[in-house]
């Protein structure tokens, strides 16, 4: 006859060990997921900073094309604007921000077929870096030599591109939500928001 008491003495500790192992694995996976979400949030914050300063960068680069370095006043005025741009960048992104961004992109985003978000983000990061180098060195030929063009993306085009990347990053978090559709926000602002606040009738 089976002594169930003895069986339970053997089985229950094994079950407890299995539950403990499973709990540890689940906790580890949740921790890894949270770390990844935090890193993606960090990438998004950098993108938002780059998006916010782009309009200043755009005009600096456009003016750099025709900047007369021999004209002391013109050069001084341009340099003052450039210093403000770099100050804004340093305030929101660390000095090694572009290096860190590259590490984060490579470490926390997957390689997928087609044109994965990682590739797009690495490309836009490199573009920004080159723009900053051109401004820092007061040398627009850095851009023309590397990209074989004098064209600079217009602020609205760059903003739309970065917003699309931000939405893709939010999807990468896999929290069940999607990023904001800015067209819907614009529509709400123009049609309802000001009325809701009593500013428009």
Q: Give the integer Cα–Cα distance in Å for 167 and 109.
A: 14
pLDDT for residue 196? 66
Phi, psi of 100 (to 5 degrees): -65, -40
Q: Where are the domains of the chain?
A: 44-187
Angle ∠(7,13,17) on CA atoms, nearest 5: 140
Map residue 127 onto helix, strand or coil: helix
pLDDT for residue 154? 92
pLDDT for residue 179? 56
- pTM of the prediction? 0.74
Q: Please, what is the end-to-end C-alpha distance for the chain in angstroms? A: 87
> Is the distance from CB of 45 to CB of 165 less than 8 angstroms?
no
Closest CA to 140 of 49, 80, 57: 57
Can you give the pLDDT of all 201 residues of the chain as single tens digits? 666 676 666 667 777 777 777 877 777 777 777 888 888 888 888 888 888 888 988 999 988 888 877 788 888 898 899 998 888 877 776 556 778 888 888 888 888 776 688 888 889 988 988 998 898 888 888 888 888 888 889 999 999 899 888 888 888 877 656 656 656 666 766 777 667 666 666
């Amino acid at each position: 006859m089976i002594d169930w008491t003895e069986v339970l003495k053997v089985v229950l500790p094994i079950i407890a060990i299995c539950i403990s192992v499973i709990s540890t694995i689940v906790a580890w996976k949740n921790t890894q997921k949270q770390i990844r979400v935090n890193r993606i949030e960090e990438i998004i914050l950098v993108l938002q900073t780059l998006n916010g300063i782009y309009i200043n960068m755009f005009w600096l680069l456009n003016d750099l094309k025709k900047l007369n370095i021999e004209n002391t006043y013109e050069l001084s005025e341009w340099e003052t604007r450039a210093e403000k741009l770099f100050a804004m960048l340093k305030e929101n992104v660390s000095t090694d921000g572009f290096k860190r961004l590259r590490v984060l992109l490579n470490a926390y985003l997957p390689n997928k077929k087609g044109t994965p978000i990682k590739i797009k983000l690495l490309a836009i990061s490199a573009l920004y870096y080159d723009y900053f180098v051109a401004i820092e060195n007061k040398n627009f030929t850095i851009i023309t030599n590397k990209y074989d063009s004098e064209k600079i993306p217009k602020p609205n085009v760059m903003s739309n591109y970065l917003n699309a990347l931000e939405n893709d990053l939010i999807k990468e978090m896999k929290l069940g939500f999607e990023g904001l559709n800015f067209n819907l926000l614009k529509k709400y602002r123009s049609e309802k928001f000001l009325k809701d606040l009593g500013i428009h009738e």
